[in-house]
């Protein structure tokens, strides 16, 4: 299997002719190749998107026309749900059932923004009363332009849909650069958009290494907006590139999200949500609630239950029935996770369970679900994102202490609180400095709701109406009423200089 680039309405080989291996993280075997796009390919893609936006029909098309294409893409994704899920599983390593959920969510995202495009057009311009009847003022929203979208490997098709669907719905043109680790389902997305009749240049796909294609896309002056999801370090570079030309940017970056558990909670339910919050997708989730704060009266009991539950998780290749955790996405990412675990061992934290590779997994990038207790507040494992199945736990004695420790982070993507006292939950949720807060759960995500973080976790929001508006410019249109106020204009207007 060879994935090509998609530029200006055609599937093409990269200009330099190079391809990258695509590795199955469960077997460590190469099962496909993806085009290694470079600066020249990015330049061709941006030029195509620029022509399509500046001179093509897409930004000027009635919303119903754009929506029809997006709905056709949603249908194609659903029709191919099973082969797409298998492809995502082999590319990323996640369990097959999780991949099915991701693919289904991606299809819904295209339907949702098709509806939103029609809704926004029906709303029309907003009329603004400025307190002066001589002037009629409207606020209009228009497509922003050419979007450079750079997406991660942890939810390959879904994260692409979060950017591509609203951008296209708003009338923008897109150059998508997915992670080189998991590019294959984005290649299928290009095929669906092509088959749906999307005009040439409106969507372009350039796969390749970040330091080649990603850097070139970030730096290209023909891009009006950069939309990036990934690490904090790379996000800073994207922001610096956007600043050089003062271009629009949105960043969805990392996190070290807290989960506060009070003593009045149901322990079994707490364990279930704690595990889901940090071990889902092998812990490779930017919003993973990987800092656990437990009220002291239940601290030891909860740790014991967490240990037992973590040791019972079924680890293996994603296609096997009952598998709850697959492999880490790559050899390099597994090394980073293991380095984080070593940091936890070195800081004096207590290793409750895990910390290594499952004994029965001789191939593949597997890591045991790992729990550290009594983790020092100033330790690397408490403050930095591991992006793997690693949980850091501390006790607390008061609500105020828990909130202070939860907020003591440069990140602010998400947070969670669990208690039978819903008033307390609401109070804590209001006090957490995070863009997403869950009460008595962790990680549910809905296309209808805004997604994004405070502080170093990013800039802007995806999903919901906020995610659509992120691809629009706001224009003020003010008209003077000559017919009614001509005499005022002649006497009150300033003299010519």
State the catalytic residues. 252
Distance (Å, whole) CA 210 – CA 476: 38
Distance (Å, whole) CA 8 – CA 80: 24
Tell me the two tokens of residue 236. 């800073």
Distance (Å, whole) CA 123 – CA 118: 9
Phi, psi (rounded to 5 degrees) for 305:
-70, -40
H or E segment to which residue 117 belongs: helix 96-123
Distances (CA, A) of 3 to 157, 191, 383: 15, 11, 38
Distance (Å, whole) CA 239 – CA 77: 32
CA–chain centroid gap for 233, Å, is: 16
**Checking phi first, is residue 105 left (phi over 0); if not, alpha (psi -120 to 50) or beta?**
alpha
Q: How many residues does the chain have?
A: 497
Half-sphere exposure of 57 (CA within 13 A, CB side): 9
Distance (Å, whole) CA 239 – CA 237: 5
Helices (H), 124-225: 156-170, 184-195, 215-219
Q: Three-state DSSP class for 422?
A: helix
Half-sphere exposure of 27 (CA within 13 A, CB side): 11
Number of Cβ within a 10 Å radius of residue 39: 18
Q: Mind giving me the DSSP string for 180-201? A: TTS-HHHHHHHHHHHHTTPPTT
Tracing tokens 């809704």 back to the chain, one arrives at 119
Distance (Å, whole) CA 43 – CA 220: 8
Distances (CA, A) of 350 to 259, 347, 365, 370, 375: 19, 9, 24, 11, 7
Answer yes or no: are the C-beta atoms of 254 and 232 closer than 8 Å: yes
């Amino acid at each position: 299997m060879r994935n090509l680039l998609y530029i200006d309405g055609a599937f093409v080989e990269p200009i330099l002719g190079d391809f990258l291996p695509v590795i199955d993280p469960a077997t460590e075997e190469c099962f496909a190749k993806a085009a290694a796009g470079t600066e020249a390919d990015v330049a061709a893609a941006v030029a195509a998107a620029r022509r399509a936006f500046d001179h093509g029909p897409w930004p000027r098309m009635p919303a119903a026309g754009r929506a029809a294409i997006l709905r056709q893409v949603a249908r194609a994704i659903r029709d191919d749900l099973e082969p797409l899920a298998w492809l995502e599983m082999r590319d990323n390593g996640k369990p097959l059932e999780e991949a099915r959920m991701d693919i289904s969510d991606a299809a819904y995202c295209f339907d949702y923004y098709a509806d939103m495009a029609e809704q926004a057009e029906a709303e029309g311009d907003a009329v603004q009363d400025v307190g002066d009847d001589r002037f009629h003022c409207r606020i209009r929203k228009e497509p922003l332009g050419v979007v450079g979208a750079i997406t991660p490997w942890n939810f390959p098709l879904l994260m692409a849909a979060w950017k591509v669907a609203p951008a296209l719905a708003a009338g923008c043109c897109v150059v998508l650069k997915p992670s080189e680790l998991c590019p294959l389902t984005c290649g299928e997305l290009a095929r669906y958009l092509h088959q749906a009749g999307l005009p040439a240049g409106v969507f372009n796909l350039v796969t390749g290494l970040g330091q080649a294609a990603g850097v070139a896309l970030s730096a290209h002056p023909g891009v009006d907006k950069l939309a990036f999801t990934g690490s904090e370090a790379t996000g800073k570079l994207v922001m610096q590139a956007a600043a050089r030309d003062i271009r629009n940017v949105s960043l969805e970056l990392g996190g070290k999200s807290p989960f506060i558990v009070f003593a009045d909670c149901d322990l079994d339910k707490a364990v279930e949500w704690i595990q889901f919050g940090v071990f889902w997708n092998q812990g490779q989730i930017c919003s993973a609630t990987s800092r656990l704060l437990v009220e002291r009266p239940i601290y030891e009991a909860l740790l014991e239950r967490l240990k037992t539950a973590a040791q019972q998780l079924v680890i293996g290749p994603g296609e096997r029935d009952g598998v709850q955790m697959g492999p880490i996405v790559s050899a390099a990412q597994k090394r980073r996770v293991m380095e984080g675990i070593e940091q936890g061992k070195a800081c004096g934290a207590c290793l409750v369970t895990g910390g290594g590779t499952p004994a029965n997994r001789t191939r593949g990038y597997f890591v045991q679900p790992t729990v550290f207790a009594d983790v020092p507040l100033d330790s690397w494992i408490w403050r930095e994102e591991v992006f793997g199945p690693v949980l850091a736990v501390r006790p607390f004695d008061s609500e105020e202490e828990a909130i202070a420790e939860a907020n003591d982070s440069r990140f602010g993507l998400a947070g969670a609180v669990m208690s039978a006292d819903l008033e307390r939950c609401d109070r804590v949720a209001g006090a957490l400095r995070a863009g997403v807060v869950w009460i008595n759960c962790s990680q549910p995500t809905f296309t209808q709701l805004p997604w994004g973080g405070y502080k170093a976790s990013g800039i802007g929001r995806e999903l919901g109406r906020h995610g659509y508006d992120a691809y629009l410019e706001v224009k003020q249109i003010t008209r003077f009423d000559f017919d009614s106020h001509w005499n005022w204009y002649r006497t009150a207007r300033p003299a010519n200089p």
